[in-house]
Structure 1
Amino acid sequence: MGVVAVPDSRVALSTSSVYPLSVVGAFDLADRLGYDGLEVMVWTDPVSQESGALNRLIDHYGLPVVSIHAPTLLLTQRVWGTEPWDKIDNSVRLAQEVGAEVVVVHPPFRWQKEYATGFAEGIAQREADSGMAIAVENMFPWRARGREMLAYLPHWDPREENYAHVTLDLSHTATAGTDALEMVDDLGERLRHLHLADGLGSFKDEHLVPGRGGQPCAEVLEKLAAQRFAGDVVVEVGTRKQTDEDRELDLAEALAFARLHLAAIGKS
């Protein structure tokens, strides 16, 4: 007879999923919809950068911040200055001050050659010094006019790099054309964090609601459940053009999808 095994994974909401709403709006939606916590994307919103403001929201809503996403995107290149290691160090400090367990970072852009030199070693040293898991995210090649360009150093695929912790993003696997299930197997215990989204394989990073693209989102969740994955699953979908009502419906659907498939049928 089969039994249902549900892992310890929390299902959290990324504040980027409610953009252009504020961090406060993300907490409010996460609370009303029943998410287990939030991932805070450090952004131009001052609340995303300040531990005192975040701790007041944590206390008010009774929801933890499970992870901090460092401002390493193109659009956040001037948040906390332009020195990339300062961004990582500030993100680690913020995570410690709000009780988060993971800092999510992107690999260096190809023009950040000095930063890219010794990147893996720098991440490892900061993990050792702080005790914080710094999970490097899988990215994708940039494509234009039928040509592919290596946009990240040392590479957009973290499998061959010496990172102790990795964030797997299922919208990025769609854009890159990589096999998400194979990545789960290849990463093994290094897989620390999951960004749950979907994509149709466009050159754009689509971040669709899971189940609306071509990625094996259900299968990935079920595989992780069977493995008793203890990391966090963070819904990171795009709702920028949605009405408030449609945004809430999409985020409720994404949460229900995650809950449904984070249950593995095993043998009793």
Structure 2
Amino acid sequence: SVLSVPSVFTFITHRWYTRAMKFIFSTGSLYSYGTERSFAFAAKAGYDGIELMVDDRWDTRQADYLSVLVDRYGLPILAVHSPFRNVPGWPPDQPALIAESVKLAETLGARVVIHHLPNRLEFGFVRANKFQLQWPLRARGADQRYYQWLLDGYPQLQESTAVKLCIENMPARKWFGRKLNRHHWNTPETITRFSTLTLDTTHLGTWGIDPTPVYEAWGDRVGHIHLSNYNGREHRRPEHGELDLARFIQMLVTHNYSGAVSLELHPDALGAGKDDEHVIALMRGSLNHCRAWVTGETLSNKAAIGME
């Protein structure tokens, strides 16, 4: 049969998308589950790959075991997220943790390593009568050393590897109704001192910032994307929240973005703890929305809730 013009356009767009932009699932979205369970759910839901969130569990850090999961479920690990804090068996500072994450990414064939900006503020407790109040203090020690390393040693690490180091924009911290910026270089303007970035949509949402113009301003610096919505709470499913992520995804298509788009959600946004099929359906529904935004197709009611 002869394809109609809209069908031809949709077919070509979908073929381009499958070759380039990939929608992958962050294991951090189900951090309260085991690593293999995240792989199994992502495979059933139809994702293109995995972003591995490294934490204190060896199952998130041993390449031989992770390679078995890649083969078993047919999902490549396209991105590695360096741990937020010290983990047993790895050196106890951020520069070394990032370097270890790069080694893991190289072994697994991952394209990017994601890591956070250094803390500018930390919160200590101040006692007032019977009450304890959190109070912002200037970050020192390991945070200051990490800050200095990003100035001095970070470029050398990037030059030593083909893996892209993609530093991530961070959220606002609420304190007595005010928004505090607890990280260095954490504005859309100042973070561009780094050559490759992770754009996190929900983190921008905490500042009331639309991610679409931010991507347009950052351009080729964006090497990775964390996709989730914001509704007063972070890391909501893409189709539910204040951010217009349909417009954002369509803009990525227009700009020929060819990196990975990682759905990084909070476990409660996926109904963690409920029946497995319920969690998988929510994962599939979010993925269906993202793919429909790429092609401009309209989802059926069943597809929208992950039932097909």
Fold agreement, TM-score > 0.5 = yes
Which stretch of the first structure deviates more once superposed, 42-51 or 111-120? 111-120
Structure 1 residues without counterparts, runs of 5 or longer:
none
| Residue number among 223, 238, 253 corresponding to 2:285 in the alignment | 253
Cα offset, 1:18, TM superposition:
1.9
Bigger radius of gyration? 2
Cα offset, 1:264, TM superposition:
6.4
Partner residue, 1:35: 47
8 Å CA contact 2:172, 2:203 repeated in 1: no
8 Å CA contact 1:166, 1:192 repeated in 2: yes
Cα offset, 1:105, TM superposition:
0.6
Q: 2:153 aligns to what SS in structure 1?
A: helix
Question: What CA distance in whole angstroms lies between the structure 1 residues aligned with 2:188 and 2:83?
Answer: 19
8 Å CA contact 2:42, 2:280 repeated in 1: no
Normalised by the size of structure 1, how large is the TM-score?
0.90
- From the superposition, tell whether residues 150 and 77 of structure 1 become closer, same or farther in structure 2 (CA, over 3 Å): farther
8 Å CA contact 2:200, 2:226 repeated in 1: yes
Partner residue, 1:139: 170
Query: Aligned pairs, how many?
Result: 258
- From the superposition, tell whether residues 120 and 214 of structure 1 become closer, same or farther in structure 2 (CA, over 3 Å): farther
Partner residue, 1:160: 190
Partner residue, 2:124: none
8 Å CA contact 1:124, 1:163 repeated in 2: no
8 Å CA contact 1:136, 1:158 repeated in 2: no
| Residue number among 244, 252, 255 corresponding to 1:224 in the alignment | 252
Normalised by the size of structure 2, how large is the TM-score?
0.79
1:173-217, Cα deviation, whole Å (9 max, x unpaired): 1112222111011101111111111001x2x5x200012101121
- Pairwise CA RMSD of aligned residues? 1.9
Structure 2 residues without counterparts, runs of 5 or longer:
121-138, 298-308
Cα offset, 1:107, TM superposition:
0.6
Structure with bigger RCO (C-alpha 8 Å, 6+ apart): 1
Counterpart amino acid of residue 56 in structure 2 = T
Partner residue, 1:91: 101
Partner residue, 1:60: 72
Cα offset, 1:150, TM superposition:
2.5
Identity over aligned pairs, percent: 27
Counterpart amino acid of residue 157 in structure 1 = T
- From the superposition, tell whether residues 120 and 134 of structure 1 become closer, same or farther in structure 2 (CA, over 3 Å): farther
Question: What CA distance in whole angstroms lies between the structure 2 residues aligned with 1:40 and 1:263?
Answer: 27
Q: 1:262 aligns to what SS in structure 2?
A: helix
Partner residue, 2:61: 49
8 Å CA contact 1:120, 1:163 repeated in 2: no
